[in-house]
Amino acid sequence: MGFSTSLQGQASHEALLGRQDAEIKLLETMRRCLTNKVKSDREYASTISSLTAQGKKVERSEELVGSLIAQSWRDIMDSIDQTAKLIKQQADSMESTVVEHISNLHLERRKARKLYQEEQTWLNNQFQQLTDDVSRKKTEYQKNLEVYKLMRSRFEEHYIKSGRGGRKLDEVREKYQKACRKLHLTHNEYVLLLGAVTECENDLRTCYLPSLLQRQQAIHQEFIVTWKGILQEMVKYSDFTTEKFLEIHTRMQKAVDSIKPIEEYKDFIGKHRTRQASPIRFVFDENLVDDTSGKLLPNKLTVDNLTIDWLRSRLTELESSLKTTQQNRQASQESNSDSKMSILDYSREREELRLRCQEKKLQRQADVIRGALNELGCEELPSGCDLSMEVSFTEPPVINKRNTVPDNGLFTLRRNQRLMTLLRSPFKSLPSINDTKNGVIRARSEGPASKPVNAPSVVPLRGGSNTSNNQKGNGNAGLMEEEWFHGVLPREEVVRLLVNEGDYLVRETTRNDECQIVLSVCWDGHKHFIVQTTPEGHYRFEGPTFPSIQELIMHQWQSGLPVTSRSGAILKSPILRERWELNNDDVILLDKIGRGNFGDVYKAQLKTGKTEVAVKTCKVTLPDEQKKKFLQEGRILKQYDHPNIVKLIGICVQKQPIMIVMEIVPGGSLLTYLRKNAGTITQREQLRMCKDAAAGMRYLESKYCIHRDLAARNCLVGYESIVKISDFGMSREEEEYIVSDGMKQIPIKWTAPEALNFGKYTSLCDVWSYGVLMWEIFSKGGNPYSGMSNSQAREKIDAGYRMPSPEGTPDEIYRLMLRCWEYEPEKRPHFDQIYTVVDTLSQAL
């Protein structure tokens, strides 16, 4: 059981980084404590030396010459002085060796962690790049497929309309052939890419990732060996000869001897064990070839006269590149064998992996092309034929005076039967084409001409597009790039932004399951105009039409004309998106980590900077009133900046779902943290948590913000166990807030009596909740008023009951809790006073 086989998952990677951080913190603690010990030992030795100097100064010593008692006293003082010198000597040795070694180890540990994180990030980027390459090629495939289907549809349509031929039909046929050729080439590139990236992904996952983790385990174990040696040196310079010191030394030696580097990470691996990294499966999307009538096959190269030359040229290029890559790899291996590679140097292994991956990628593509070409044997493609038009009609169309048409291979291809079987006609699924003279012409791939069949009508062609829909789509293109377009921002938020006469913005709304674009203007109040769509796909209000919404808005703004004559609203100043309004596409949702009142909570990543964030989403089906409440938390957070308040990064309202993007706080909720670490949390840590929460609430109080839902479940634990106030969904930016919509979803056991009884909230209500939060911290995640229902707790509080002090709580802290739980709000302390008390207690401990 080791790193390479057991820690390949993302959760294990994060846990390993957390373990490294914890070890770095431990080194910092050890260095700080040993520095203080050296200082204390020197001060102690200096004090003893001063005492012995005073003890040797005996008054009237001339009268004690020859006294045995006086000689004994002088010998005792000399022995104590020697002890002081020994203590100072060991303190000097402790500083020059142990403390210095710990400092060096600390620097090396940080460097190793940084290198590991960089390599892990590089590896993740490689996986992402492979996925992005496939995605881009698939998008290109889909685009060419759409062009192909459109050209095919036009060809069929012109064939029906034109009857037997003509210049227009030839032009359409040429465009159709060109689109078909491009589709086939893209198909081949897509097939080749899938095979290549599969090889690269397999090497990254099965070779580089285990090697990286195995090297990390070796690094960690080497650190433990060094660490153990430092601790042994510390024990050496703490070894005194008295029985008391000997007993302490024995215990310390036993503790050091228990360290076994080979078993250091055994429990850690067992606790964070995950499955081996699963392969990223690159599968051909068979939907891409549904409309190619079997001509293009999944994971099969298309070999015809459209691609044969390209394939042969591509094979030559691949073989040349493969030879060069093999030579470079051989040279790299010889270079590596001649020099000793540092365990922290990843560059050579990375280069070896790159060359090996490149070699396999080229080899795989060359083998696939070679196999496809060998399948044809030594047969040659028929000259002058176009396999993309592989059909045979029952009767040749009459297009000249002699009623004949040269057989150029376009309509009959029977000379290469093996190739005909391999390549299917794109017209396999075409409907019957009505010919007024000869009956019905049916598409087929080979065989003798069929007899005419009478058909009542022409079947409508598939794949036709709606003109108005296309124009509408084109009109909306690029709308999200306009700074005055605010996406699906709720109407209430829009009204808040439009302040001055003539202020305007454009947004998107949904009515009766139909998406509509709305122009909102501040004019004699607030007015909202739905952008009208004409049958031709243009846009208008009352005046002229425009092919795009951007042109329509620009016309209204520049002309100074009213949007409608009845409203008289004139566009003066566009309201641009606020800096914290992000684009939904800039946020990549990763893992679901929780659920809130309005939707799910995700761990996510920003495209720019690859920053990890936490994202709250709002369900699309919620009414606008609920979406307004959801955005309220973001509106409050965007103006706050404090280390003990969770930081807002932005809000996404360009499209559904609406999202609030915040800093990710890795420790999770304070309540979960308290319960999980109940056995190890110290009183000093509990005081620091109370201090952090008090600092955050003091800041909110200074901003006249009432949180209304302060509790351990709504606090988060960040790096270095810092506590941050979170979940501002119920918060209000007022000195006093009166509830007018009932007391639904109120946390009864955390809420002050005046809020429960009269619906009146002030910052002093948060002080009551803070007292309950302190109780949760010192009870290590206990349930307040355990065994009581909400109504029972409320009745007992009104009757004067207060929760008893949790076990081990300092008396000063419990007295502060009781002050927070004063029934009369005026008797409670403000957060500024609370912070001072907690800070003083924290420093005194």
Average pLDDT value over all residues in the chain:
80
Q: Is 476 a residue whose pLDDT tops 70? A: no
Do you know the residue count of the chain?
845
* pLDDT of res. 136: 94
Q: Which residue has the higher pLDDT, 769 or 262?
A: 769
Percent of the chain with pLDDT over 90: 42
Lowest-confidence region among 12-26, 655-669, 726-740, 813-827: 726-740
Tell me if 479-574 shares its fold with 581-663.
Answer: no
Q: How does strand 715-717 pair with strand 723-725? A: antiparallel
Angle subtended by helix axes 763-778 and 811-820, to nearest 10: 150
User: Average pLDDT for residues 458-469, to the nearest whole number?
Assistant: 31
Both tokens of 464, joined, read 């036709």
User: Average pLDDT for residues 156-177, to the nearest whole number?
Assistant: 81
Contacts of 246 (CB under 8 A, 6+ apart): 240
Residues annotated in a binding site for ATP: 593-601, 616
Q: What is the pLDDT of residues 48-81, one digit of tens each?
A: 888 888 888 877 777 777 677 777 787 788 788 8
**DSSP-based three-state secondary structure for 836:** helix
**DSSP-based three-state secondary structure for 40:** helix
Element of type H or E holding 326: helix 308-338
Phi, psi of 545 (to 5 degrees): -100, 155
Query: Of 487, 816, 782, 821, nearest to 658 (Cα)?
Result: 487
Lowest-confidence region among 209-223, 233-247, 335-349: 335-349
* pLDDT of res. 544: 92
Residue with tokens 């309509």: 411
**Residue 84's pLDDT band (boundaries 50, 70, 90)?**
confident
**Residue 643's pLDDT band (boundaries 50, 70, 90)?**
very high
- How far apart (Å, rounded) are the C-alpha atoms in residues 62 and 67? 10
Both tokens of 498, joined, read 């439009």
**Residue 737's pLDDT band (boundaries 50, 70, 90)?**
low
User: Average pLDDT for residues 426-447, to the nearest whole number?
Assistant: 34
- How far apart (Å, rounded) are the C-alpha atoms in residues 738 and 434? 77
* pLDDT of res. 61: 73
**DSSP-based three-state secondary structure for 589:** strand
Q: Is 164 a residue whose pLDDT tops 80? A: no
* pLDDT of res. 800: 94
* pLDDT of res. 429: 31
Q: Which amino acid is at 430?
A: L
Residues annotated in a binding site: 593-601, 616
Topology of domain 3-271, per CATH? Substrate Binding Domain Of Dnak; Chain:A; Domain 2 (1.20.1270)
**DSSP-based three-state secondary structure for 379:** coil
Lowest-confidence region among 105-119, 219-233, 408-422, 772-786: 408-422
Query: Of 516, 512, 513, 469, nearest to 488 (Cα)?
Result: 516
539 beta partners: 533, 546
Topology of domain 479-574, per CATH? SHC Adaptor Protein (3.30.505)
Q: Is 836 a residue whose pLDDT tops 90? A: yes
| Rounded alpha-carbon distances, angstroms, from residue 432 to 393, 420, 424, 443, 690 | 11, 21, 18, 7, 80
Q: pTM here? A: 0.41
Q: Which residue has the higher pLDDT, 626 or 820?
A: 820
- How far apart (Å, rounded) are the C-alpha atoms in residues 698 and 188? 64
Topology of domain 581-663, per CATH? Phosphorylase Kinase; domain 1 (3.30.200)
Domain ranges in the chain are 3-271, 303-375, 392-452, 479-574, 581-663, 670-844
Task: Write down the catalytic residue from 81, 435, 709, 727.
Answer: 709
Element of type H or E holding 519: strand 514-522
Contacts of 495 (CB under 8 A, 6+ apart): 520, 526
Q: Is 723 a residue whose pLDDT tops 70? A: yes
* pLDDT of res. 419: 37
Q: Is 137 a residue whose pLDDT tops 90? A: yes
Query: Of 703, 731, 820, 702, nearest to 769 (Cα)?
Result: 820
- Cα-based angle 559, 561, 565 (whole degrees, multiple of 5): 160
Helices (H), 57-99: 68-93
Positive or negative, the Cα torsion across 809, 815, 819, 821?
Answer: positive
* pLDDT of res. 793: 94
Topology of domain 670-844, per CATH? Transferase(Phosphotransferase); domain 1 (1.10.510)
Q: Is 743 a residue whose pLDDT tops 60? A: no
**Residue 709 among the catalytic residues:** yes
* pLDDT of res. 57: 84
* pLDDT of res. 339: 58
Query: Of 806, 822, 814, nearest to 838 (Cα)?
Result: 814
- How far apart (Å, rounded) are the C-alpha atoms in residues 385 and 425? 13
Q: What is the pLDDT of residues 561-595, one digit of tens each?
A: 999 999 999 999 999 887 778 888 889 999 998 88
Q: Which residue has the higher pLDDT, 821 or 535?
A: 821
Q: Is 632 a residue whose pLDDT tops 70? A: yes
Residue 93 burial class via C-beta count within 10 angstroms: exposed 0-12, middle 13-18, buried 19 and up: middle
**DSSP-based three-state secondary structure for 433:** strand
Q: Which residue has the higher pLDDT, 457 or 548?
A: 548
Lowest-confidence region among 290-299, 454-463, 527-536, 724-733: 454-463
**Residue 641's pLDDT band (boundaries 50, 70, 90)?**
confident
- How far apart (Å, rounded) are the C-alpha atoms in residues 814 and 378? 93
Helices (H), 648-787: 670-676, 683-702, 753-758, 763-778
Cis preceding-peptide flag for 535 (omega within 30 of 0): no
Helices (H), 97-242: 100-162, 167-203, 209-236
Q: Is 427 a residue whose pLDDT tops 50? A: no
Percent of the chain with pLDDT over 70: 82
